[in-house]
Amino acid sequence: MKVFLYLLLAIGAIFNGLGAFALIRFPDVYTRIHGATKCTTFGSIFSILAVVIYGFVKGGGEGGTLAIHALLALFFLLITNPTGSHALARGAHRAGVRPVGAVVDRLEEKE
């Protein structure tokens, strides 16, 4: 049981780290949004899943409350994170930031 929790936490930490390093490594805004959004969302799913399982195993009022609230936080994170990154990408394109080394840019042709 404990090993399983540690495994989930480790996977979450690894993918969150991947997101943070993608932010440093990639060349322009859009590719950074790619890395940051995907990896932090996926990593947070595992981190919070560890908390949920821990709460349900602990049981009782306190553990149940912890699990349900963590699940709700995960739900909101899963909805808001891609939406926010989508808004940022659109704002960046409207602000005049072009993708570096793009082979095709249909949105610019439209505007």
Partner 1 sequence: MRKWGAWATSAVFIYIVYLILTLWTGELGLWSLGELITGAVIALLGAIPLGNIVWKRGDVRLLQPHRWILFLFYLIGPFFFSMARANIDVAYRVITGRIKPGIVRFQPHLKTDFGRTLLANSITLTPGTLTVDVDDGTGEFYVHWIYVKNPEPRPEEVCGPFPTWARRIAE
Partner 2 sequence: MIAEFGFLVAAAVLVGYVFVSMGRLMAGPTTPDRAVALDTINTLVVATMVLLGTAFGQVVLVDVAIVYALLSFIATLYIARYLEGGLR
Q: Please list, residue by residue across 43-75, b when 16 or more beta carbons sit within 10 angstroms of its beta carbon and e when fewer do.
A: bbbbbbbbbbbbbeeeeeeeeeebbeebeeebe
Per-residue contact string for residues 42-81; x = within reach of partner 2 by CB under 8 A? -xx--xx-xx--xx------x--xx--xx-xx--xx--xx
Q: Which does 107 bind (CB under 5 to 8 A by kind): partner 1, partner 2, none?
A: partner 1
Cα(71)–Cα(6) distance, integer angstroms:
19
Per-residue contact string for residues 11-50; x = within reach of partner 1 by CB under 8 A? ----x--x--xx--xxxx-xx-xxx-xxx-xx--------
- Name which of 2 and 46 has its Cβ closer to partner 1: 46
CA dihedral in degrees (50, 55, 57, 62; nearest 10)? 170
Among 3, 83, 95, 96, binds partner 1 (CB under 8 A): 83
